[in-house]
Homo-oligomer: A and B are copies of this chain.
């Protein structure tokens, strides 16, 4: 049973072209890295100007369905959370989503990624996760570095869950998290509390390395309890 990939509401040429190109990817069964026809070719085939084709390709590039590059033919792209991140940030900037809602979604999903990561992580992944946890403590004096290791740790856990959907969503949240993280860090009342947070991350990492899904999920949950409390105290929720 064939299903049209997108709504057929092609009032304007550009969305018609977008549909045509996504259909082309599907019909020819193109995979990431495969090259699409050149703009001029598409222009001729779709009977629209190159202007329209370019705007359509830009749309697809914005969604990271294709990749563009000077001189290079458009290629099918790999999944990437950049586009997702932009959308969530827009939702937050325009008051359509608040930080607490993002955190609740994160907590829901990351309890699961922690569970799955504990069950499925490779040895290399376990080492990487623990490395990030330790680095948080080592770089204690440089909050920006702590943050990046924090985010990288969560993303590494999501990847170790072996479900790209989770990795995508968690990665997407990081755009917003980068804006709130410093607030949470500062809102901790003492360095002791900050060390405790790092310690919690390390325990989480070790539970995943040890292959203990229940403990990993519980620690992840506690992590969000603590973080939410810090953000609440800072008044940004």
Contact = CB atoms under 8 A, between A and B. Distances in A.
Nearest to A113: B108
Given A55-B55, A105-B165, A163-B105, A90 B65 contact: yes
B63 A5 contact: no
**Chain A, interface size: which category?**
35 or more
A112 B108 contact: yes
A84 B84 contact: yes
A97 interface: yes
Contacts of A93: 5, 25-26
Contact of A101 (B87, B101, B102, B165): B165
B109 A87 contact: no
A187 to B, nearest CB: 13
Contact of A58 (B55, B109, B164): B55
A170 B185 CA distance: 31
A12 interface: yes
Interface string A1-14: 10101110000101
B105 A108 contact: no
A25 B61 contact: no
B83 A63 contact: yes
A63 B79 contact: no
Interface in A47-61: 51, 54-56, 58-61
5 contacts: A31-B94, A32-B96, A63-B63, A79-B96, A102-B165
